[in-house]
């Protein structure tokens, strides 16, 4: 692979944030592999990207399956950038958070990031060059009602990002996290719909209730998250390691 070319892996590549990240990094000239479970959405993403002349390849993989991840990574060759973006979010009071919901959040949001990072990091260290970026959430820094499983899984992601950063310190590899508040994605739209259903509010009123605590007074756009990821994945960020870049207008107190 030429020095100017990079191979990038983006998990959760066909979702709202993932799609923006894929297009942003491919637009920088990178060869991007978009990972996920939904073959239809991944195929549509690949067709759209290639229609724009971008080098994007989709791969279907259960990222919580250790053997499947190891097999996938073996087939990819040298990977320079890993973006751990796969995720899910469902809300429930703690007393109604069943073990299955708890474990599904941990597997999807944290275990997938652990398996991919563990598999790809040795190659980056061997080449003394690489970027690992975790797309976490402001929930990685704070707690809120009805989000025990989601919040715990995002805390786990941020903890993993920082632990990896400690291991790679002093090398050409970095590990950082991006922590946005609510982003305008289908996942957030689902949250708005659930709020509207539970409270009897209209969708616009429900969305306003979701973001009223944010100084921005609006949802974050996926492209804003992608811009942060693009920076942390760039050569210009080679001195940034173990950091959490929060995108919320200044609302999170750490």
Q: Which residues are catalytic?
A: 150
**Going by C-beta distance under 8 Å and a sequence separation of 6 or more, which residues neighbour residue 18?**
10, 11, 12, 34, 36, 85, 86
**Going by C-beta distance under 8 Å and a sequence separation of 6 or more, which residues neighbour residue 131?**
80, 81, 82, 173, 174, 232, 233, 234, 237
Residue whose pair of structure tokens reads 């469902």 in the numeric block: 90
* DSSP, res 183: B
**Going by C-beta distance under 8 Å and a sequence separation of 6 or more, which residues neighbour residue 40?**
none
For the chain, the distance separating the N- and C-terminal CA atoms, rounded to the nearest angstrom, is: 41
Q: Is 47 exposed, middle or buried (0-12, 13-18, 19+ CB in 10 A)?
A: exposed
d(CA 167, CA 133): 15
d(CA 40, CA 49): 14
d(CA 52, CA 46): 10
| φ, ψ dihedrals at 65, nearest 5° | -100, 115
Distances in Å between the Cα of 22 and the Cα atoms of 143, 157, 194, 220 are 29, 20, 28, 17
Coil vs helix vs strand at 9: strand
């Amino acid at each position: 692979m030429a020095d100017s070319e990079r191979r990038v892996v983006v998990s959760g590549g066909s979702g709202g944030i993932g799609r923006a990240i894929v297009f942003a990094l491919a637009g920088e000239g990178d060869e991007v592999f978009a990972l996920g479970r939904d073959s239809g959405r991944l195929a549509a993403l690949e067709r759209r990207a290639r229609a724009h002349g971008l080098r994007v390849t989709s791969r279907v993989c259960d990222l919580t399956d250790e053997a499947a991840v190891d097999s996938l990574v073996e087939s990819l060759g040298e990977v320079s950038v890993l973006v751990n973006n796969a995720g899910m979010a469902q809300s429930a009071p703690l007393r109604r958070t069943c073990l299955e919901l708890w474990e599904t959040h941990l597997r999807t949001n944290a275990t997938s990031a652990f398996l991919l990072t563990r598999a790809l990091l040795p190659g980056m260290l061997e080449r003394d060059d690489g970027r690992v970026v975790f797309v976490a959430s402001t929930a990685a820094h704070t707690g809120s009602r009805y989000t025990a499983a989601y919040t715990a899984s995002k805390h786990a992601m941020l903890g993993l990002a920082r632990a990896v950063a400690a291991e790679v310190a002093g090398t050409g590899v970095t590990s950082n996290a991006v922590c946005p508040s609510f982003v305008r994605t289908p996942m957030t739209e689902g949250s708005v719909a659930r709020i509207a259903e539970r409270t009897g509010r209209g969708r616009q009123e429900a969305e306003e209730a979701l973001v009223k605590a944010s100084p921005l007074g609006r949802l974050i756009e996926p492209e804003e998250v992608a811009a942060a990821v693009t920076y942390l994945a760039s050569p210009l960020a080679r001195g940034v390691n173990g950091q959490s870049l929060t995108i919320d207008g200044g609302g999170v107190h750490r």
